[in-house]
Amino acid sequence: MRPAKRTASDGLPPVVLASAEALDAFYRDLFLPLVWRATWRHGLAKEDARDVVQEAFLLAMAKMSGEGNPRGWLFQVVDNLCANHQRKTFRRARLAAKWGLEGLTRADTEEEASD
């Protein structure tokens, strides 16, 4: 009988699958291509693309197992996060137009919420 794998959902930290050097190399090899993909394929601004890719790597650290194709998994996660980001942006713009807040930026609305 095989021992059960630990996952992030069972309250324990995920099993470390590689050395820190290997994870750093994985990150360095894929970060810029993923930012490029988010920028050109999905039309995100570079700053937003970097945020999406960072979020994808955080998800990878928490959820990715050593099985399968980690590169393909990460590319799919970036695609999904880009789609979520675009839906959120369009929804925000539509609501701003509906409520007459076209001149407000995202930073303005966040600043008002913190007051």
Q: What percent of the chain has pLDDT over 70?
A: 71
Nearest to 85, CA basis, from 45, 27, 36:
45
The per-residue pLDDT for 9 is 45
* pTM (whole model) above 0.75: no
Domains (range + CATH), the chain: 17-114 (1.10.1740)
Residue 81: both structure tokens together: 């996060």
| Digit-coded pLDDT (tens) for 22-34 | 888 889 999 999 9
- Top pLDDT among 59 and 61 is at 59
SS3 state at 47? helix
The per-residue pLDDT for 105 is 57
Q: How far is CA 51 from CA 18, 56, 57, 110, 113, in A?
A: 24, 9, 10, 17, 21
| Digit-coded pLDDT (tens) for 4-56 | 444 444 454 444 446 788 888 889 999 999 999 999 999 999 999 999 999 99
One-letter amino acid for residue 16 of the chain: V
The per-residue pLDDT for 1 is 39
Residues 96, 101: Cα–Cα separation, whole Å: 5
